[in-house]
Amino acid sequence: MPIKTPFMFRSVILAGLLVALPFSLLHAEDPALDEQARQQGVPVDELRAFAEVMERIRGAYIEDVDDRELLESAIRGMLNELDPHSNYLTPDQFDDLQVTTTGEFGGLGIEVTMEDGFVKVVTPVDDSPASKAGIQAGDLILKIDDTFVKGLSLGEAVELMRGEVGSEIRLMVLTDGDEKPHQVTLVRDKIQLHSVKSRMLEPGLGYLRISQFQNNTGDDTRKALDSLSKDNTLRGLVLDLRNNPGGVLNGAVEVADLFLDNGLIVYTQGREETSRSDFRANPGDQLKGAPVVVLVNGGSASASEIVAGALQDQDRAIVVGNRTFGKGSVQTVLPLSKDRALKLTTARYYTPDGRSIQAEGIEPDIAVDAVTRIEVRDDLQVREADLPRHLGNENGESKNDEKPRSLAQEDYALAQALSVLKGVVLSRNGDQP
């Protein structure tokens, strides 16, 4: 027979008291059990208050309420009071979480949290209904169809946004800087997350975007780097982690490991001193020391901050962009009975230099304004063809075909990151990249 530790004994007493809810515990007291419970720190009076509240609801509320619904609501409320990331997962939510980590799920394609009672968009997923509708990181969702968000839990709001693929949903959205909210109509779709995309920006200078960290992100990143290097000498890389809400911790560790030859990547620390876990790089830098610029913004959170912080602390990359989101906590999914689960914050993570970025974020080495497009006013520039009585072209008047937009016009922050990368390559090699 196993020996019960004080913690186990306390749990047994607590379980015994809860089994008595909500009937006998209200009217009958066991002095011996009460004394044992108090010695172990069990809040006997508060448990009786809980039972009494539940009994009053069952007896006096205007409508019949199912006991199981009351208890599940109590569980959700208990977790909501801890932090924004701990919650109780029903079987459907547990399934959704498992599917998300594999890269395919149904919905709108937004990562959300709660702020001041409203749903706040952490980031939209690339090529999702949300991103196509113009929803941005930092937007507040005030209303879902005909339901106001104020007063709902995050889980309840997320449930309202779920639905069948192809069905419509209306969101009332307030964008930072706007005085009035606006309505957006979206069509739910199956969200297929291809978390890694890559291309060459210029000869020898590659671009790799990671939109979310999944179980297979490390392998996909390795393959993308192999592809970029296959027909080119990769002399530098821009790693784009903008609007990356995070995901699987091991995915972030595997990605950072690809750029590091040794040393600490990240460590997590729970409540107990002995709960520290270190994650270290294996020998072998896939880029063989070629310069890396990491591009981040306010939508870069959690696992993406692990990568940015590790490469920054190890002097392996220059971080460019805006201060990141600042989610430095680790959630553990603890399966419960009947396919339910508990997503509980169990640790904080720290960069190699021991920085906790919780609520602080990663400060970039080079700050770049969050500008996505620059409009060039060609109409303000005078050309020869605009002068009166100008000579015509012997081959006929030139056509004013629209020129392709430059990288700076399409993505200013990326253009700045590329300029930084070129500068590093130039300083190392002494010639043009």
The residues carrying an active-site annotation are 302, 313, 327
Measured CA to CA in angstroms, residue 163 lies from 96, 167, 190, 260 at distances of 12, 7, 10, 42
Helix (H) or strand (E) holding 64: none
Strands 118-124 and 110-115: antiparallel
- DSSP character at residue 227: H
Helix (H) or strand (E) holding 38: helix 31-39
Q: Residue 145: name the closest of 160, 166, 132 by CA.
A: 160
Give the C-alpha separation, 385 to 399, whole Å: 11
Signed CA dihedral, 143, 149, 155, 160: sign only: negative
For 105, what's the count of Cα atoms within 13 Å in the CB-facing half-sphere? 21
CA 34 to mean position of chain CA atoms: 45
Cis peptide before 203 (omega within 30 of 0): no
Helix (H) or strand (E) holding 142: strand 140-144
Give the C-alpha separation, 23 to 12, whole Å: 19
Residue 422 near residue 205 (C-beta atoms within 8 A): yes
Count how many residues are written for the chain: 433
Q: What are phi and psi of 306, to 5 degrees?
A: -60, -50
Distance linking the first and last C-alpha atoms of the chain:
70
Q: Residue 54: name the closest of 44, 69, 41, 42 by CA.
A: 69
Kindly calculate the radius of gyration of the chain based on its CA atoms and give it in whole angstroms.
27
Tokens encoding 323: 């201060």
